Amino acid sequence: MENSVLTLIKNFQLAGNIKSVEPFGNGHINVTYHIVTTKDEYILQEINSNAFKDVDILMNNIDIVTKHIKSKGENSLDIIPTLDNRLYFEQDGRYFRVYRFIKNTICYESVKSNIFLAIKLGDAFGKFHHLLSDLDASLIKETIVNFHNTPVRYQNFSDAYAKSSYAKRITAEREIDYILDHQNTYSKIVDGIKKGIVKEHITHNDPKINNILFDKDTKEVCAVIDLDTVMPGSFLYDVGDAFRSLFTGENEDSTNLSLLKVDFNIFKEYMKGYLSQMKDDLAEQEIELIPYSIYLMTIECGMRFLEDYLRGNVYFHVDYEKHNLVRCRTQIALAEDVLENEKKLLEIVKEILGGLKK
Ligand code: ADP
Ligand code: GN1
Ligand code: MG
């Protein structure tokens, strides 16, 4: 790939001559390279057009969102245009884009030994929600339709299950049963949206910890990245998925399921940061749904991994055949622990809100 990267990178408006090209990061979706030139550094990504069917919509969304954030004086991704001033480059049905590399930054897979980062993450995603709250939502289109519509995700899983072979099913019997047995628990947020109890906003939809860049020295948040799924959604999707990601940490691929637990310290710290920005924007019914949203985003992620395993690993990047099954197991383990702790989590939310409103 590196030789072809050298050829295709010439189609972008880069400063200087290429010094190096290296694969970069731990994303599950795009293929990412770090490019160093004699004058600057860049991120080149092959956009996963299997996940993102309409790259035009995708790149337009990112262009609008990054300009909106920057117009408020905040840092965001800089898209480097192609020589003919387009937002991405297409070659033989493959799609590529370049961002300016945000220097002197670090991204984490976990906050376990850096608990102080949790409050900063919460604050950053709260601020992200605020910054986008006055953006004309009709400008932002869905890049993956029904991305966090869990009942639709369940239908997709059921379809994969129906089409899978008996030999494959018996390797994932317990996981399949868990997802089937819990089918009545998947619709509270979409129902809330239909009833108007849960509001739709422009949200990130993939608030994984490694989608935030921190300054290496100050450990302050530099930018929220991975804007591919920024689209209309519920604040609860981001709140729930942020905790799914934080409680999972680097254990998404672990076979030691006892590591997949709610971490109350992380929850408190992140919530303090998030609610300091968002306390006046959440309705009472949305607040009540926070613990459930963590369960929902976790089990949704589990069923997506399981669906992909049953389909033969066609969506998420995998390192071995059962990788998605292993990931599904960690998500189910975490979802179970969240269910057991819903009440305690809500008490913590209310305690923090009480303190902030004094
Ligand atoms: P994926 O959708 O595959 O997760 P991301 O856009 O999150 O792709 O990029 C993968 C990784 O590349 C990120 O986790 C981060 O480490 C790094 N990265 C992406 N964009 C930048 C950037 N502009 N500057 C520095 N690092 C970046
Ligand atoms: C993917 O792209 P990445 O690695 O940040 C996925 C998320 C999942 C996550 C699970 C576009 O995130 O929805 O929650 O993996 N992104 C997409 O680790 O499907
Ligand atoms: Mg990412």
Within a domain: 9? yes
Average pLDDT rounded to a whole number, residues 113-129: 95
pLDDT value at 212 more than 60: yes
Q: Range of 51's domain?
A: 3-103
Which atom of ligand 1 is nearest to 317's Cα? 3
Average pLDDT rounded to a whole number, residues 175-202: 97
Burial class (CB in 10 A: 0-12, 13-18, 19+), 136: exposed
CB 208 less than 6 A from any atom of ligand 2: yes
Which atom of ligand 1 is nearest to 101's Cα? 24
Residues 54-79 have pLDDT tens digits of 999 999 999 999 999 999 999 999 99
pLDDT value at 295 more than 90: yes
Within a domain: 109? no
pLDDT value at 111 more than 70: yes
What is the Cα–Cα distance from 188 to 175, expressed in whole angstroms? 22
Residue 311 identity (one-letter amino acid): R
Ligand nearest to the CA of 328: 2
Which atom of ligand 2 is nearest to 244's Cα? 14
Name the residue with the closest Cα to ligand 1, atom 4.
27
pTM, rounded to two decimals = 0.94
The backbone torsions φ and ψ at residue 177, rounded to the nearest 5 degrees and listed phi first, read -60, -40
What is the Cα–Cα distance from 136 to 343, expressed in whole angstroms? 36
**Span from the CA of 206 to the centroid of ligand 3 (angstroms):** 8
pLDDT at 135: 94
Residues 79/59, Cβ–Cβ less than 8 Å: yes
Residues 36/9, Cβ–Cβ less than 8 Å: no
Ligand nearest to the CA of 143: 2
Percent of the chain predicted with pLDDT > 90: 95
Of residues 219, 182, 225, 190, the one with CA closest to residue 204: 225
Average pLDDT rounded to a whole number, residues 259-271: 97
Name the residue with the closest Cα to ligand 2, atom 17.
29
pLDDT at 113: 82
Within a domain: 110? no
Same domain, yes or no: 93 and 119: no
Within a domain: 172? yes
Same domain, yes or no: 222 and 147: yes
pLDDT at 2: 64
Ligand nearest to the CA of 24: 1
pLDDT at 58: 98
Helix, strand, coil % in the chain, rounded to nearest 5: 55, 15, 35
Within a domain: 108? no
Same domain, yes or no: 154 and 83: no
pLDDT at 152: 98
- Ligand 1 pocket list (CB less than 6 A): 24-25, 27-30, 32, 43, 77, 99, 101-102, 105, 107, 210-211, 213, 225-226, 228
What is the Cα–Cα distance from 24 to 261, expressed in whole angstroms? 29
Which atom of ligand 2 is nearest to 245's Cα? 18
pLDDT at 330: 98
**In which band, very low, low, confident or very high, does the pLDDT at 358 lie, cut at 50, 70 and 90?**
low
Same domain, yes or no: 59 and 132: no
Ligand nearest to the CA of 213: 1
What CATH number should be reported for the domain holding residue 342?
A: 3.90.1200.10
* Top-confidence residue, 352 or 1: 352
* Average pLDDT along the chain: 96
pLDDT at 50: 93
Taking each helix axis from N to C end, the angle separating 264-278 and 235-248, rounded to the nearest 10 degrees, works out to: 150
Ligand nearest to the CA of 31: 1
What is the Cα–Cα distance from 244 to 331, expressed in whole angstroms? 8
pLDDT at 247: 97
pLDDT value at 101 more than 80: yes
pLDDT at 5: 85
Name the residue with the closest Cα to ligand 2, atom 5.
27
Residues 85-100 have pLDDT tens digits of 999 999 999 999 999 9
Same domain, yes or no: 197 and 302: yes
Q: Which residues are in the CB-under-5-Å shell of ion ligand 3?
A: 27, 211, 226
Among 74, 103, 132, give the residue marking a domain's end: 103
Residues 128/224, Cβ–Cβ less than 8 Å: yes
- H helices within 42-198, ranges in order? 55-71, 116-131, 150-163, 166-169, 173-181, 188-195
Structure tokens at 351: 């305690």
- Beta-bridged to residue 212, according to DSSP, are 224
Same domain, yes or no: 36 and 183: no
pLDDT value at 357 more than 80: no
**Which of the residue ranges 26-30, 107-111, 114-118, 331-335 has the most confident prediction, judged by mean pLDDT?**
331-335
Which atom of ligand 1 is nearest to 29's Cα? 3
pLDDT value at 1 more than 70: no
H-run or E-run covering 80: strand 79-80
Same domain, yes or no: 99 and 146: no
CB 28 less than 6 A from any atom of ligand 2: yes
Name the residue with the closest Cα to ligand 2, atom 13.
206
Within a domain: 72? yes
Average pLDDT rounded to a whole number, residues 330-334: 98
Name the residue with the closest Cα to ligand 1, atom 15.
25
What is the Cα–Cα distance from 139 to 202, expressed in whole angstroms? 10
Residue 126 identity (one-letter amino acid): G
Which atom of ligand 1 is nearest to 228's Cα? 2
